[in-house]
Chains A and B, each alone.
Chain A
Amino acid sequence: MAVAGQAFSPKEFQVWIASDNTDAGISGIHASNMYQLDVDSVGMPSLNVNQVLDVRSGVGRTLKDEDVFQDNTLRVVELSISGTIHNDAGHKLLLQNICNDVNDDIAVATGFSPASQLYGAGNAVANGSSSLTVVIKSSDHTNQRSLVMSGLVVTSFSLSADSTTEGGRYKFSATLQSGVKPDLNESSTLAGNNAYANTTDCFLSSGSGVKVFDTDVILQNFTTTIESPAVFTGFYADGYQQVSRGAEIAVTAEATVKYDANTKTFIHDFDTQTIAKDGNMFVITNNNAFGVNMQNGVLTDVTYNEGDVMMLDVAMKAVDDGTDALISFDVTTG
């Protein structure tokens, strides 16, 4: 076989996403109803195959061919992606999945109860926040292959923005895991036709009313993170039988704010707090642009950030007061 002459830029590979909707974990590529994610780069998923190459008993001190073992059914595939968040249906799928919330203004509800989901045809989560299919799409299928990963759930999602980087444009990073065997040799269908637009970016500059620890602050940057570990159990022909979630969905936030008359007591407040702050723990008003609303929480760290001016790095963790959502993100006009 002659060598092939084609070469491809890593930038020719794209990431597309769809809800598995009614057939959790087996929906595969959709030519029309997938959404493109605005990623910084396409990263290789961790395939985590079960491979055993230990030397067993035999003649000589070598690995024997009959001792080679590999399994690709009962393993967890993990994918990490990061990029620019857009207020569109595709990017919101990531947040909706980890929050188990497809309502307007996506939130981690008080008394949060995660979705558990059986894999296989006909299995879906009732509220539509079903598992996801992500496709790493090649630019053609003559000389390349697409990677199709179904049955993914988002186990970690971070939203961040920095007023000194990219004009305060909001960024995201997400980790997804699946217990379903992926298709790494897709050659028949190219995913999707709903590309992201540059009109759906979100910026800190349209935000206002920033509060940290119920105090008006001058904010330089923030990161909010939601962690909800996946637990895979059981088995069937294409992988694990069920995906559910761990004991806690953890919502944290970090903010870098100017050290000034308003924030001068934060270090003391952190040191002496005995109860959670009730109200305006971390708020950025930004209607329809991923405004953040964490009403109740505790300070988990406050430290100096010695930049050109003295800043404070404030770390927080949301707590459930039985009434307010742990966190909500404003993604609606009304």
Chain B
Amino acid sequence: MKIKLKNKNTILPNCWKECGCSFKDWENLHNGKSIEVSNLNNIEHLVDVSKSKKGDK
């Protein structure tokens, strides 16, 4: 699933491993970009979640 910060000023906990992404992805998320994760690990209140992927109808 793709996630993006709801608020760009949010500081996320250090849990990129549990979310199934890399430290670089986590930095990109902090910088306002959307990233792909496999698990939300209790950060769902901090991010907008998009479950659609390219090619989905």
Contacts and interface: CB of A to CB of B under 8 A. Distances in A.
A208 B15 CA distance: 7
Interface size, A (range): 10 to 19
B42 interface: yes
Contacts of B15: 208-209, 285-287
B48 interface: no
B14 A288 contact: yes
Interface in B1-55: 11, 13-18, 22-23, 41-43
A208 B42 CA distance: 9
B39 to A, nearest CB: 11
Contact of A285 (B11, B14, B22, B23): B14
A291 B15 CA distance: 10
Interface string A273-310: 00000000000011111010000000000000000000
A228 to B, nearest CB: 27
Contacts of A285: 13-15, 18, 41
A289 B42 contact: no
Contacts of B18: 209, 285, 287
Interface string A183-213: 0000000000000000000000011110000
Interface string A85-122: 00000000000000000000000000000000000000
A291 B42 contact: no
B13 A288 contact: no
A61 B11 CA distance: 74
A286 B16 CA distance: 9
B41 A208 contact: yes
Contacts of A322: none
A164 interface: no
Nearest to B18: A285
A330 B16 CA distance: 12
Contacts of A288: 14, 23
Contacts of A206: 11, 13-14
Contacts of B16: 287
B23 A208 contact: no
A206 B18 CA distance: 14
A309 to B, nearest CB: 23
Interface of A: 206-209, 285-289, 291, 330, 333-334
Interface of B: 11, 13-18, 22-23, 41-43
